Structure 1
């Protein structure tokens, strides 16, 4: 077992491999755009959290693929949860789900194609953390938000049952 296979396993557990918890793909598959955009009392929605996950997974993948990456980001983290209220429709929700699937598949491909040496390379721009640690922490970040998404879905389903 090496870093590469462990990280691929972690990414797949988050997105599409049912193991310790329900993977994100399975949680989202039966939600429509209205359900995905529903906000709880804390003003969180599944769709906004998915947008946040897409942003950070794309950002770190871009950095992983570019040796000369810049760590600075011009976006405030709260802005990564943005959901355009005028774009809540089936087409945009499907597009968001496709983008999510694409970034997880791209991470898998990037890891499969990378040299083992890359994963132990330290990032002076990021606390001298090795790439394997950064990707592992990204998976933990994904799992944290997947838990939030699952709770939001349970809240939504509970409300729907009460209203039926």
Structure 2
């Protein structure tokens, strides 16, 4: 077993490989735009959390692929949860799901093409963290938010909201 295969397994477990929990792709498959955009007491929606996941997965993938790591100026994390209220429709929701699928497939491709030495190399400008650790923590971040999405979906089902 090597870093590459472990990280690919973790990413797939989060997105499309049912193992310890229902993967994100399966959780989202039967939601429409209105359901995905519905806010609860937390003022967050499933769609907003998906946008947040897309943002951070794309950002770290970009850093991984360019092999130059610089921390961004200032990213307001709250802004990554934004859903434009003027674009809440099924076509936009489907585009969001396609973008989510693309970033997970792109991560798989990037990891498959990567060499083990890259995954064990440290990012000096990011606490000397090794790439394998950063990607593994990204998977944990994904799993955390998948849990939130699952709870919101269960709440929706309990309230019998169509």
- Both structures adopt the same fold (TM-score exceeding 0.5): yes
Q: Distance in 2 between matches of 1:63 and 1:119?
A: 13
1:1-164 alignment, distance < 5 Å: 1-160=1-160
CA–CA distance in structure 1, aligned partners of residues 53 and 73 of structure 2: 15
Give the deviation of 1:19 after TM superposition: 0.1
TM-score, length-scaled by structure 1 = 0.96
Deviating above 3 A after TM superposition, structure 1's stretches of 4 or more consecutive aligned residues are: none
Structure 1: which 5+ residue stretches go unaligned?
Answer: none
**TM-aligned CA deviation for residue 155 of structure 1:** 0.6
Aligned-partner SS, 1:71: coil
User: Separation in 2 of the partners of 1:99 and 1:89?
Assistant: 16
Structure 2 unaligned blocks of 5 or more: none
Distance, in Å, in 2 between the alignment partners of 1:73 and 1:51 is 20
